Structure 1
């Protein structure tokens, strides 16, 4: 079992395993920014350095302190640098010739387990995502892998986001399943099949030509109900079933129930998101952006921004001059998105969320 710490791939230099043996040298996999290679004996000090960093080792299970001798023993036990997918191996991640981390991969009978470790200065640049995506493609193209999975600490949001970025989806939370340094811990599991990966890499990534707000009714409500965010975003965005429930049974604010106004978001004819306002009433004089959800397969296409522009047009047409919303702070927070659109924090906190307002 392996836990992870926090693009297209040029496969022309990849060399498949020699058969029947599963042990063979591996040529470099090159991506836009990275080189992935077999680890060497002279990498010992670098690897020990970042594995001893508390920020890197906090949610891992390797021995501490992690010494050069630990690295050498493990290096020799795993074949002296030769790739053995069946036993599991680590590929070094290089940026401009400098080793900054490694990717773990084990593959048996077409089922691959992945993990990644990056030095602290290398985190936050997308290197783990780029490296993991390259390894997945290599395993699909050259080793007929049909399933991929990763396990991680439930608090490891950064690694969860890497899993999601390469196409994996949350599969399970197993309770007290992982032998951590301080006792048994919960374990978070992400996975995807080869078909899932093929769907993910072929999804549309361009900005859509046409974004529309569509009325919801019996003909399409179940379709929009199936829209989902990434699992790591669930603490930031309510799921569709909750939005439907809150629209059906709205809360009472200032002595009156909130009046929902909701629309599906369609991108080039395909259901891609959902938006819901708390509409203006006698008791609620200012419109409030209650929900905004973009499906995991349609994110980073500018759809949310386009949908809010349509909402703003509707509100301006009704004579409104401001729109309020609120967001959760923390890793992955939508705050940068809202501030880019002109929302400014009011200084108020509502149920732990930062309240913001934009002038239309």
Structure 2
């Protein structure tokens, strides 16, 4: 498995990544993520996920973004912004790999915590993130639960 930056050669493969239909309300499509990566380029870290030569997913991290500058300008956070594992590739460890790679990147940049948000609903990713060591902070981002994982 490996992550690769989005390039002119692979962006169409990124756009083709689709989650299961019952997950469409849980994660934005890749095209939206790439637009956000363009707009927020100083914080966004979009990557295409491969297993050999096969594209299996897309992820995007946010790195050192001001969380709530009006409340605390020093509160800067990094974490997983999007995780889109292709419908036919779920349950094979690719999501765990992606989360671990994001945590590794945050650590390499000197970070000590990784954040993620999730939709708290039946069939949502809460159990997945809890099993990976994320714990709810008590905060909300819109309707989503904010979770944090300590990085050692």
Name the TM-score, length of structure 1 as normaliser.
0.38
1:330 equivalent to 2:121? Answer yes
Structure 1 residue 349: deviation in Å? 1.1
Deviation at 1:308, TM superposition (A): 1.5
From 287, 298, 315, the equivalent of 2:106 is: 315
| TM-aligned CA deviation for residue 237 of structure 1 | 1.1
Instruction: Please list every run of 5 or more consecutive structure 2 residues that lacks an aligned counterpart in the other structure.
Output: 67-72
Q: Which residue of 1 aligns with 2:45?
A: 261
Runs of at least 4 residues off by over 6 Å = none
Structure 1: distance between partners of 2:93 and 2:14: 19
Shift of 1:359: 0.7
Query: Tell me, what secondary structure is at the counterpart of 1:286?
Result: strand
SS at match of 1:312: helix
> What are the residue-to-residue correspondences of 1:113-124 with 2, within 5 Å?
none
Aligned residue in 2 for 1:286: 77
Deviation at 1:241, TM superposition (A): 1.4
Name the SS of the counterpart of 2:104 in structure 1: helix
Residues 345, 258 of structure 1: alpha-carbon distance in 2 compared, 3 angstrom cutoff: farther
Residue 54 of structure 2: which of 261, 267, 270 is its match? Answer: 270
Once the two structures are TM-superposed, the CA of residue 330 in structure 1 deviates from its matched residue by 1.1
User: How far apart, CA to CA, are the structure 2 residues paired with 1:266 and 1:221?
Assistant: 13
Question: How far 1:281 sits from its partner (Å)?
Answer: 5.0
Residue of structure 1 equivalent to 2:70: none
Structure 2: distance between partners of 1:333 and 1:286: 23
Q: By how many angstroms is 1:258 displaced? A: 6.3
In 2, the alpha carbon distance for the partners of 1:247 and 1:216 equals: 10
Aligned in 2, Cα 1:281/1:229: closer, same or farther, shift over 3 Å? closer
- Give the distance between the partners of 2:29 and 2:65, measured in 1 at CA: 26
Deviations 1:67-99 (A, max 9, x none): xxxxxxxxxxxxxxxxxxxxxxxxxxxxxxxxx
Distance 1:281 1:290, change over 3 A: closer
Q: Does 1:234 align with 2:24?
A: yes
Larger radius of gyration: 1
Spell out, residue by residue over 1:147-194, the C-alpha distance to the aligned partner (whole angstroms, 9 max, x if none). xxxxxxxxxxxxxxxxxxxxxxxxxxxxxxxxxxxxxxxxxxxxxxxx
Structure of greater relative contact order (alpha carbons < 8 Å, 6+ residues apart): 2
Superposition deviation, residue 294 in structure 1: 0.2
In structure 1, the gaps of 5 or more residues are: 1-210, 251-256
2:130 pairs with 1:339: yes
Q: Which residue of 2 aligns with 1:295?
A: 86
Following TM superposition, by how much is the alpha carbon of 1:269 offset from its aligned partner in structure 2, in angstroms?
Answer: 2.3
User: Would you say the 8 A contact 2:115–2:146 is kept in 1?
Assistant: yes
